[in-house]
Structure formats: structure tokens, C-alpha cells
Amino acid sequence: MSERSVARKLTSVLAAQHYMERRLPRFLVQRYEGGSGRAVTLRRNVEAFDEVTFMPRVARDFGARRLDTTVLGGTKLSMPVMIAPTGGLAIGHWDGERAMARAAGEAGTAMVVSSSTGTAIEEVAAAAQGPVLFQLHHLYGRENSARMIERARASGCTALMFTVDARGGGPRERHPRETAFAPTSFGPAELLRAAPQTLRRPRWLWDFLRHRSGLTVPMAPLKDGRPLSVFKIMEALSVRPAVWEDVDWIRGHWDGPLIIKGIITVEDARRAVALGSDGIVVSNHGALGLDGVPATITALPSIADAVGSRTEVWFDGGVRRGADVVKAMALGAKGVLIGRAAIYGLMAAGEPGVRQILEVFRQGMAGTLLALGCESFEDLTRDHVRIPADWTA
């Protein structure tokens, strides 16, 4: 079945997840679906949206819904949904970040490219039809970060997103019966051990053997010039974790918009604003960091109340449908990033799959605004939702 044929079946994020699971070997499914620890935060990120209820205004007359917005003072988007930075995409689908960038551009929105991309930023930016932002991690420290910033600037990236919460958080816990063997390289011996999984997924295996994509991180060359292995990313991140003092250092190398990602407390949000950030992302790293932290949607209202008048507040974590985006926007977000939702579309059906998922979000947002009695996001207010009292405590 062609990617276009599969894409037509992606009527929801859940459907995309299903078709991803049918295409990928189990170890890659677990890589893209899983969270750290016992996955408590991963589940809460999704489930907490159910605690937000809508308060619609009925019998109101208006024209077609408008979803467009402007972020960072001048970047116009057709909708507030953007693609979050996610690493390791090209192992699962050979076209990886290029496909994501093309789909985002066609949808009229932006993509944030991860430092741990399997595709060089120059290639992603060349494929893009819309705004591209670059997410900065310290991979082996500031020296390499300076090179990445320069490459992002030369590639035409419109903003830099500095991630401050990539500090590990413990291994993923699964019962041995549920844990698939995950290769630590793609040499012959490792591939042989993974054969019971890979041979059951011939479409993925054929693409992987043809392209051998995603095995290195081209944004982090080693001292001898060779690119970093994708299996060494956590080692590279641990050499020099992000600290607040890095913000002034980054400003010395980057004069464009700077967004700080990984904020989950009001205290850190205020510190980011005091350091001059142009935006923050309320995020718990997609539940890949410390397990047991709050679901991001529960942290959003108090953070937006504290700093939303002084900086742009973006949001990610657990977003699975257009109604979730509307809830986040009503609670103070200016933009919403989707990670796993876009990954599922890519892994299920490549670029057509990502395009379809973005269209699912577009339709979901438009339908939710219609039901709420809003013509656009400009009409949406906090009064359109109800949340538990302790979320703003």
C-alpha cells in the first residue's frame, strides 16, 4: 500500500499510531511511543486534557473560522500548531526531517529542527517551504553549540529554541515480556538479533537498507570530523548540561528571537523572562525526562498568568487533537507544538502522513471553535474553559 493510500486512513492521531505500529519494528515503536520511568508523566500529559471542560456560547452567527496567527512579532502562520523538535526521525523513516519540513510548509506553519536531527540543518532548510526554527542542545559543550548556531543562522532559521531540561531522568521501565530488543548499533550482529522484529516489517527494512538514514547526528561532529553516532546522543548531552548562564552566552552568538523550552514552574518562567527570552515553551520534554513531574497542561495556566503579558508562551505535551490545541490556547498559550502526533504520521505514511495529521488538527480546531461560538482564536478566552481549582494554585 502506498504512503498516500495509508495517509487517507489517518483520520486521527490514534489511527496514525496504529499504522505506525504496523510499519515499524517493535524497538522503534517503543522508542517513539515511550516515556521515561514508569511513563506516569507520559500518561498524565494526555489524560489531563480530559479535566479541561468547554463552556460554549451558543446561537452565535459569524463567517468562516479563521485559524491564522502571528508569533514572535512577525512570523505569520496559518494556524497555531507547529512541529516540535524531535530527534532520531530518519531511522524510522528515511525522509525524516525533510518530509516534516515540507509538510509543515505546505500547511502554512513552522517546524522546529532538533540538534539531534539525522539530517543536517542545511538540508532541512533547503527542503522547507515555511519557517524553520532550530532547537539548541549542548552536544559536547559550548564549542560545538557555537558552530550549530552559526549553521542555523546561515541556513535561514528564523528563531533559536534553547532547551534547558534535557538532563536525563532514569531508564524506561517495562516488564521483560513487553521489552523488545533494541540494537545499540546497526552492525550485522545487532541486525541479526533484531531480525525477528525487522523481518516482520519488510517495508521499513527495505527503506532502511536502501538509505541507511539516521545513524549519525550531522550537527555534532566529533573532533576527528566524523559525525556523532545516534546511539551516543545521551552521552553527548551529559557532557555539558544547559544552565541559565548560557542564555547570555547564546545572545553573544545569536541576535534573533530566542525561545527557552522546558519550563514547568512559575519560578523558572519568571527567570527566563528576566533573562530576556522572546518566548518560553511550557514543556516537560515530552515526558522523556524526569518521570513524575506535572502534566504540562496543568502547569500552563499559572505560568501564562505570571508571564504571558511579557513574553510569548508556547506549549507542548500530550496534544493529540484539535480540541486539545483550543484548550491550551484558551489557557494562555500563543502557539502549540506537536511531537508524537507528527511522528506517528511520518512513520505511518511519510510526508503525506504528516500533511494529513496537520489537516486533522486544522479541522479539529475549526470545528471546536465553531462549537464554542468563536470565529477565531482572537475570540477565545479563559471563560470558554473550566479547570480544576488547584491548577492555578
Task: Examine the residue annotation and report whether 211 is marked as an active-site residue of this protein.
Answer: no
Q: What is the mean pLDDT of residues 145-151?
A: 93
CB 294 within 8 A of CB 165: no
State the DSSP string of 256-324.
Answer: S-EEEEEE-SHHHHHHHHHTT-SEEEE--GGGTSSTTPPPHHHHHHHHHHHHTTTSEEEEESS--SHHH
Distance CA 31, CA 89 (A): 10
H or E stretch including 391? Answer: none
Distance CA 101, CA 109 (A): 9
Residue 139 or 357, more confident: 357
C-alpha dist (Å) from residue 90 to 35, 118, 267, 331, 389: 20, 6, 37, 34, 43
pLDDT at 47 > cutoff 70:
yes
Tens-place pLDDT, residues 267-323? 999 999 999 999 999 999 998 888 999 999 999 999 999 999 999 999 999 999 999
CATH architecture of 3-392: Alpha-Beta Barrel (3.20)
Place of cell 533494541: 182
Place of cell 484539535: 322
Pairing of β 81-83 and β 75-77: unpaired
Tens-place pLDDT, residues 88-128? 899 999 999 999 999 999 999 999 999 989 999 999 999 99
Tens-place pLDDT, residues 8-30? 999 999 999 999 999 999 999 99
Tens-place pLDDT, residues 65-74? 899 999 998 8
pLDDT at 179 > cutoff 80:
no
Domain residue ranges of the chain, discontinuous segments joined by +:
3-392
Q: What is the pLDDT of residue 226?
A: 78
Place of cell 503525506: 352
Q: What is the mean pLDDT of residues 54-63?
A: 84
Distance CA 355, CA 352 (A): 5
Phi, psi dihedral angles at 316 (to 5 degrees): -150, 165
Phi-psi domain of 138 (left: phi exceeds 0; alpha: psi -120 through 50; beta: other): beta
- Please identify which of the residues 93, 137, 138, 285 carries the catalytic annotation: 285
Tens-place pLDDT, residues 229-269? 887 777 777 777 889 999 999 999 999 999 999 999 999 99
